[in-house]
Amino acid sequence: MPEAVTYRVEPGSRVDGPLCRLALDVAALSGWRRRGLAFLLGVAAAAAMSPVDMTPLLVVAFSGLLWLDDGSEGAGASFRLGWVFGFGYFLAGLYWIAAALFVDIARFWWLVPFAVAGLPAGFAIYIGLALFASALVARRLHLSPAARTFAFAIAWTAAEWVRGRAFTGLPWNLVGYTWSGGFPGATAVLQSVAVVGIYGLGYVTVLAASLPALLGTPRPTPSPLLRHWAPVMMAGLLILLPATGGTIRLLATPPVLTDTWLRLVQPSIPQSLKWQPGAAQTNFRRLLDLSVAPSRDRLNAILWPEAAAPFLLDRDRAARDAVAAIAPKGGYVITGALRANPPPAPIERLWNSIEAVDDRGEIVATYDKAHLVPFGEYVPFRTLLPVDKITAGTIDLSAGPGPRTIDLPGLPPFAPLVCYEAIFPSAVIDESDRPAWMLNVTNDAWYGRSSGPYQHFAAARTRAVEEGLPLVRVANNGISGVVDPVGRVLARTNLDAIGYLDRALPAALAPTPYARIGDWMLLGLLLLGAIPVGLRWR
């Protein structure tokens, strides 16, 4: 019999009830059944994310994973089990990345297996290490099942935090994002990120989803019914208390709009036509036509998505004049655009930028994307890797200096964010020069009608709650929208819709605790969670 199963059935305990029997049956699984169930549980955990938004599946996924781990013979077996779970989780959660390769499948067909299976296999190592660490600590310290649950939640959160930073970082599909989608009441729970951040909310979520696994622990004889159901009550409180506080915060913070009006233009230009020379004028004309449509309100700025301008505006006076012709009087067209080194020198460097063009055709502000996508915008170790980047052109993009605030006359100061820069917690604004709102321009047309754009919108929405700042998101094919500083979506477009939104900018809140101290609150949470581990709490 596996080591951990005998550990759970302690002297004086009894295997009573269907959950106890189910837990022992799950722990006793071996071979392909064991690996297959771990994989399916990982897929179930991914279904808690947008657009499926089945948050309760996390209880099934994490409790089931801990039951399976009860049958692991040693920490090495726990690592393998966690890796299989993680492979299912990331395969279901990141499958859409491969869709970008089909834009030019003739060149990049050979990369499809790496995108579909290679990335999930690599990221699954983090989950394998989390289960390995918690299992090792549980065995070395002879932890009770309850204390082991806390150790697992701490290890999972630490692995997510490292994943968000290591090797340029990819904090995608963090468990806390299950509260940034459409599950009923999720927005109330999401308010807690204003204090503990997305990693802190993830820790609470993993702990709450894992505690019900203790219902499968054989009970001492005699065992009061209240004690038996205590883990479920604790799990409920871990969600109910943040939800109650979040509801109060939402009720106390009604939407407040400023007199700044913005037009969000969503052209929905297919990625296959995005950089075709013959389609450049047609694409440009669609942007201009959507921008010039009559508005009931006086617009302060027209916003275009990432790389919307098909020309190098800094080198094309005619294109800038066309933009100036549709710019609001005394206002701006703020667009994503590629920017080159200054003329008349030949093009040697390029940046993925945001440029603000005024009604005279002058570029009055520029922001260069700082967090570039490996293999998408540049090739790391280019001298060693003989591959092309996926985006158009042969020149690797250069990185900008990092978060900054753009302050233009007649417009509240804003923090520009290009594409997935919006998914990095505590790295979206210049805290020394706090803006009044965040502008995220992006192009998710690479990923078609997959879950990618929904997940991207959910992650960007979370930054608004963390920072206490409204977020305006302008996407080529969607999802574009306006989010107030407590995460309410005041307006949004459908995926692949062609059109525009005219909306007033919401007012900002005072800096949140998370905006002030960042992930230090997370450290406090983890230290608090380590108390049951240190005491070997039962």
SS3 assignment for 458-484: HHHHHHHHHHCCCEEEEECCCCCEEEC
**For residue range 35-80, what is the model confidence (pLDDT) as tens digits?**
999 999 999 999 999 999 999 999 999 999 999 999 999 999 999 9
List all residues 6 or more positions away from 233 whose beta carbon is below 8 Å from its beta carbon: none
Q: Among 134-143, 337-346, 500-509, name the most confident range.
A: 500-509
Is pLDDT of 498 > 70?
Answer: yes
Active site residues: 306, 369, 419
Any bridge partners for residue 438, and if so which? 415, 471
Do 280 and 400 share a structural domain?
Answer: yes
Is pLDDT of 121 > 70?
Answer: yes
Q: Range with the lowest mean pLDDT among 67-71, 122-126, 179-183, 226-230?
A: 226-230
Rounded distance between C-alpha atoms, residue 74 and residue 163, angstroms: 25
113, burial (CB in 10 Å: exposed 0-12, middle 13-18, buried 19+): exposed
Neighbours of 194 (CB within 10 A): 25
Tell me, yes or no, whether 513 lies in a domain: no
Tell me, yes or no, whether 445 lies in a domain: yes
Is the bond leading into 222 cis (omega within 30 degrees of zero)?
A: yes
Do 229 and 290 share a structural domain?
Answer: no
Do 195 and 70 share a structural domain?
Answer: yes
Rounded distance between C-alpha atoms, residue 426 and residue 430, angstroms: 9
Do 461 and 446 share a structural domain?
Answer: yes
Tell me, yes or no, whether 514 lies in a domain: no
**For residue range 306-328, what is the model confidence (pLDDT) as tens digits?**
999 999 999 999 999 999 999 99
Which residue range(s) make up the domain with 234?
3-102+110-252+519-534
Residue 291: the pLDDT is: 97
**Strands (DSSP E) found in 241-305:** 257-266, 301-303
User: What's the sign of the alpha-carbon dihedral 185, 191, 197, 203?
Assistant: negative
DSSP structural state of residue 277: G
As a whole-number percent, the residues of the chain with pLDDT over 70 amount to: 95
Do 416 and 309 share a structural domain?
Answer: yes
Neighbours of 107 (CB within 10 A): 11
Tell me, yes or no, whether 503 lies in a domain: yes
Tell me, yes or no, whether 456 lies in a domain: yes
Helix orientation angle between 31-46 and 57-69, rounded to the nearest 10 degrees:
150
Do 478 and 525 share a structural domain?
Answer: no
Q: Once rounded to an integer, what is the mean pLDDT over residues 133-161?
A: 95
Do 266 and 412 share a structural domain?
Answer: yes
Residue 507: the pLDDT is: 98
Rounded distance between C-alpha atoms, residue 271 and residue 11, angstroms: 64
The domain tally of the chain equals 2
Contact indicator for 417, 439 with CB cutoff of 8 Å: yes
CATH number at residue 358: 3.60.110.10
Helix orientation angle between 119-140 and 75-94, rounded to the nearest 10 degrees:
150
Q: What is the residue-averaged pLDDT of the chain?
A: 93
Residue 229: the pLDDT is: 80
Do 148 and 127 share a structural domain?
Answer: yes
Neighbours of 53 (CB within 10 A): 19
Q: Which of 18, 59, 65 is nearest to 232 (CA)?
A: 59
Do 439 and 388 share a structural domain?
Answer: yes
Rounded distance between C-alpha atoms, residue 238 and residue 398, angstroms: 44
Long-range contacts of 114-121 (CB under 8 A, 24+ apart): 116/91, 117/91, 119/90, 119/94, 120/86, 120/87, 120/89, 120/90, 120/91, 120/94, 121/87
Confidence band, pLDDT 50/70/90 cuts, at residue 8: very low
List all residues 6 or more positions away from 291 whose beta carbon is below 8 Å from its beta carbon: 263, 265, 302, 304, 326, 333, 500
Do 50 and 190 share a structural domain?
Answer: yes
Is pLDDT of 277 > 90?
Answer: no
Is pLDDT of 4 > 60?
Answer: no
Any bridge partners for residue 333, and if so which? 302, 357
**For residue range 280-313, what is the model confidence (pLDDT) as tens digits?**
999 999 999 999 999 999 999 999 999 999 999 9
Residue 284: the pLDDT is: 96
Contact indicator for 531, 525 with CB cutoff of 8 Å: no
**For residue range 433-473, what is the model confidence (pLDDT) as tens digits?**
999 999 999 999 999 999 999 999 999 999 999 999 999 99
Q: Range with the lowest mean pLDDT among 220-234, 483-497, 513-527?
A: 220-234
Q: Range with the lowest mean pLDDT among 90-104, 259-273, 370-384, 430-444?
A: 370-384
Do 321 and 216 share a structural domain?
Answer: no
Is the full-model pTM beyond 0.75? yes
Do 303 and 201 share a structural domain?
Answer: no
Tell me, yes or no, whether 366 lies in a domain: yes
Tell me, yes or no, whether 444 lies in a domain: yes
Residue 537: the pLDDT is: 60
Structure tokens at 128: 């394998």
Residue 387: the pLDDT is: 81
Tell me, yes or no, whether 353 lies in a domain: yes
